[in-house]
Amino acid sequence: MEKFLIKGPTSKGVRGSLECSGAKNSALPLMASSILFDGTVILKNIPFVNDVKTMAALLTALGSNVETFEKKKIIKITNKKKHKLIVPYKLISTMRAGVLTMGALLGKYNKCSTAMSGGCSLGDRGIGFHLDGFKKLNCKYNLRNGYINIIAKNGIKGNIYKFPKVSVTGTSNLIMASVLANGTTILKNVSIEPEVIDLIKFLKSGGAQIYFIGKKTIKINGVKKLNGCTHEVIGDRIEAFSYLCTAAITKGKIKIDKINPKYLYTELQFLKKIGCNLKIKKSSIEIDVKKKLKPIKIITGPFPKFCTDNMPSLMAVLTKADGKSEIYETIFSNRFQAAPELNRMGASISLKRNKATIIGKDKLYGAECISSDLRTTFSIILGAIAASGISIINRVYHGFRGYYNLDKKLKKIGIDIKKVS
């Protein structure tokens, strides 16, 4: 199993520039939604991370013709025949986004059987909201032998559904299930994450009729079909922020290109508050850190609040701040999995329910650690590049699920990192 060997600290701080990859969290729902289209869709700026490759294999298994052009960052998906309606466990067990094929298959065929999905272990990430929404759209479901079986015998019918709590994948699934429905669907308390907006733009390019009629309310008029189109995936705001944090924790200076700073407005305000100097342009962010970082209090939440996926990276950065910081996690029940690993390096992070208290330290020390999910991987990497000595990070396959060319990009900005088996 692959691991990283990282020698720290990065003495003069990270330096250089990086081009932001396409957003994994956008590419996956876009690929899943391709099931709804007649003809061919072309997706540009695709990050060929492991989850994207798994989704491509899943679509192929279901009957789509998937062509990949990694050097050009393009995926071409053509639908010429009816898809299979059973989503197999083998291909969905490592990737939570596979659950998005439910909405697409239901929207197109009014029926599907989907194995319970995998991905990161982050506490309660159930799909109850999805199923409640499907039920409102005239579906019935049951759980048998690890599979969720859903059917709309008389077709998907438009209705009104309000999410009890904002759900990104829930919003995406219900949108996909509704675009070809009979009648009009109103979805309330929807997610407005940039990746959801990107999905809506993609579907509208194919002919879907989706409109915002309130800040978090959308109206979907069902159409008879979606036509093939071309769409460019937005930049990955999580990747961009992760690499900005490499400069924050090492007193470095780097520039991230091909990212819309509006997607990171809240996070950038927090970086400024802790002492980072930022130059923000239309499609780039430059960070320069020269002074000791200040402590801060953070509360995560749905967009436009501080993104939960960015919290583990900032938690690592705050281990080097001058004083006590507090983080309150409101999205996932088990998001602090990086904390015990950072503590192995000499950090001081105490946990109590959904709160992490971080006491900044002058020094961290290299240690052997183990990653348990995608964002934890990068958090541990941040600790390692600031620590004295060699750190060994096990189970780094989690990182390659979401960060394209992870080790190569880290090397490019001056980090001493080796990938070994």
Residues with Cβ within 8 Å of residue 203, at least 6 apart in sequence: 33, 36, 175, 176, 179, 210, 226
Question: By C-alpha distance, which of 168, 158, 179 is closest to 33?
Answer: 179
Active-site positions read 120
174's tokens: 């219900």
pTM above 0.85, yes or no: yes
Q: H/E element holding 39?
A: strand 37-44
Query: How do 355-359 and 348-352 pair as beta strands?
Result: antiparallel
Backbone angles phi, psi at 392, to 5 degrees: -115, 125
* Ordered mean pLDDT values, 10 residues apiece, the chain (421 residues): 93 94 97 97 97 94 97 97 92 80 96 74 62 95 90 96 94 98 98 98 98 97 97 98 98 98 98 98 97 97 97 98 97 91 98 97 96 95 97 96 96 96 87
Query: How far is the CA of 340 from the CAs of 148, 343, 345, 356, 396, in angstroms?
Result: 35, 5, 9, 11, 17
Nearest-angstrom CA–CA distance, 351 and 175: 37
Q: Which domains does the chain have, with CATH numbers?
A: 3-20+235-420 (3.65.10.10), 24-232 (3.65.10.10)
Nearest-angstrom CA–CA distance, 165 and 188: 10
